[in-house]
């Protein structure tokens, strides 16, 4: 297979931008699109072609990678006005990396198939740094033809690609298990560091000790530095977890499964969103708890003004 098949990335936020650069770096002709003009300018600076609409970006692409926030955005960029699918060549493939409910992935795959377009359900994990390094984990499911068509791009963006079977939706189900754990671990880490503050402990020393102890987690080690720095600029936003833990809760309820810890974590993220922190870093759970308990965390301990509309992108 020709590893230089053309690719397009729809959504150039922290993850999509890194993925576009990883594709470009190994010589795959890559185009991108995003609603944020600054994201397009950053791609152009790196020599990556940009387009105004998903249709324009996808027209010459064999592989269209979708890295947006939610199912509504996936539907819009694939099937809405100026959507990608209508412009794509039969036999090309959509690689959907958005975190969405499994049933929505199945529905999108069926609609793409009506146009002769393959669909790979391929949610990702690893964060912005691994996206930029081409070392993501991809939890993929879909027909063999879709895996084969997407192979050059998967090789560029991922260190590990799990083939989870032929049925679209399995990849999204695996991702929701991951998000169940991620959301709970973030909430627990933020609760723990704020609890330490309430005990009068040096929270920087708490971080040092816990990261060398059995209570550590990847999320504690990754997110608590944001709290120590008082920096809540979003690496992953609160609103991501109100969405994802909402999906987890809906799936659990439909399956009569008592996901009590996911429900508790969801309420903490919802409280953050209600307090004006939805667009801020998900470590904001710590400053929510600090605010309730009147504890002083490092500065910026309470919500700052949201960025102006021209600074924010709805596609990430």
Catalytically annotated residues: 175
Q: How far apart are CA 160 and CA 141, in angstroms?
A: 14
Q: Which residue is it, tokens 């790979």?
A: 120
Q: CB-based contacts of 306: which residues, under 8 Å, 6+ apart? A: 276, 279, 312
Cα 40–Cα 90–Cα 59 angle in degrees, nearest 5: 25
Which DSSP string do the residues of 54-121 spell out, in sequence order? HHHHHTT-SEEEE--SSHHHHHHHHHSTT-SGGGSPTT-EEEE-S---HHHHHHHHHHHHTTT-EEEE
CA-based nearest residue to 125, from 138, 142, 116: 138
* Count of H-run helices and E-run strands, the chain: 13, 9
Q: CB-based contacts of 214: which residues, under 8 Å, 6+ apart? A: none
Q: How far apart are CA 175 and CA 99, in angstroms?
A: 7
């Amino acid at each position: 297979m020709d590893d230089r098949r053309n690719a397009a990335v729809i959504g150039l936020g922290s993850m999509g931008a890194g993925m576009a650069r990883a594709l470009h770096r190994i010589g795959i002709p890559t185009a991108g699109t995003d609603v944020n003009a600054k994201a397009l300018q950053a791609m152009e600076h790196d020599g990556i072609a940009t387009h105004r609409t998903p249709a324009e970006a996808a027209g010459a692409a064999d592989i269209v990678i979708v890295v947006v926030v939610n199912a509504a955005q996936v539907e819009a960029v694939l099937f809405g006005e100026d959507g990608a699918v209508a412009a794509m060549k039969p036999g090309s493939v959509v690689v959907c990396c958005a975190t969405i409910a499994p049933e929505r992935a199945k529905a999108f795959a069926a609609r793409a198939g009506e146009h002769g377009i393959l669909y790979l359900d391929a949610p990702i994990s690893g964060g912005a740094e691994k996206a930029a390094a081409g070392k993501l984990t991809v939890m993929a499911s879909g027909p063999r033809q879709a895996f084969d068509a997407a192979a050059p791009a998967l090789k560029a963006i991922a260190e590990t690609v799990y083939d989870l079977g032929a049925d679209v939706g399995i990849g999204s189900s695996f991702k929701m298990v991951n998000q169940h754990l991620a959301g709970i671990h973030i909430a627990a880490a933020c609760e723990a560091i704020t609890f330490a503050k309430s005990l009068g402990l040096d929270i920087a020393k708490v971080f040092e000790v816990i990261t060398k102890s059995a209570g550590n987690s990847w999320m504690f080690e990754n997110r608590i530095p944001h709290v120590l720095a008082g920096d809540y600029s979003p690496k992953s936003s609160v609103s991501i977890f109100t969405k994802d833990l909402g999906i987890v809760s809906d799936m659990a309820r439909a399956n009569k499964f008592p996901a009590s810890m996911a429900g508790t974590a969801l309420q903490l993220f919802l409280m953050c969103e209600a307090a004006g922190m939805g667009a801020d870093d998900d470590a904001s759970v710590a400053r929510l708890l600090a605010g309730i308990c009147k504890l002083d965390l490092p500065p910026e301990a309470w919500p700052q003004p949201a960025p102006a509309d021209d600074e924010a992108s709805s596609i990430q």
